[in-house]
Amino acid sequence: MADSKQTCIFCGIVRGEIPAAKVFENELLLAFLDIGPLAPGHLLVIPKEHSERIWEMDGSTAAAIAEVLPRLAKAVLDASGAEGCNVLQSNGPASGQEIDHLHFHIIPRRGGDGLGYRWRAGKYGHGEIQAMQAEIAASLA
């Protein structure tokens, strides 16, 4: 089985083997334009260290992303003239993640742009919210 770092397209971008339209880089992170944008200015923000899911990310990388996301989102809005943006991060195929390297999307949005997602809000049955609360709290303990 091939090493996932060797076959990962985003790791190839980090190593400089695959070209990308980079807009930001520091020792931990890289941000570049998505080659299949949902809107002009669609940006991807990745940690340079390979991990596939958000729960695999270490605290220093999470802090670095949290620090830079607001600045990058503002830059995307300024450059694209968009009215707003979505910041999206998916984990695993069931969530829509297609590249198995942790990444955040900054997607510029305009009213009536036709983009969106299905948000089919549900409701908890009697006692279900308390049971879920207890399960999550137990997992954190």
pLDDT tens-digit readout, 101-113: 999 999 999 999 9
Contact between 91 and 97 under an 8 Å Cβ cutoff? The reply is yes
Contact between 20 and 76 under an 8 Å Cβ cutoff? The reply is no
Select which of 50, 103, 105, 126 is catalytic.
103
Our separate counts of H helices and E strands in the chain read: 4, 5
Contact between 107 and 45 under an 8 Å Cβ cutoff? The reply is no
pLDDT at 77: 97
Q: How many CB atoms lie within 10 A of CB 22?
A: 11
pLDDT at 45: 98
User: How far from chain centre, in Å, is Cα 123?
Assistant: 27
Contact between 132 and 122 under an 8 Å Cβ cutoff? The reply is no
Instruction: Spell out where the chain has E strands.
Output: 22-25, 29-33, 43-47, 84-88, 104-109
Answer yes or no: 103 catalytic.
yes
pLDDT in tens, 15-24: 999 999 999 9
4-116: CATH number:
3.30.428.10
Q: Give the tokens for residue 117.
A: 């997602």
DSSP β-bridge partners for residue 108: 85
Side-chain-side CA neighbours of 51 within 13 Å: the count stands at 18
pTM: 0.90
**pLDDT of 14 over the 60 cut:** yes
User: How far from chain centre, in Å, is Cα 34?
Assistant: 12
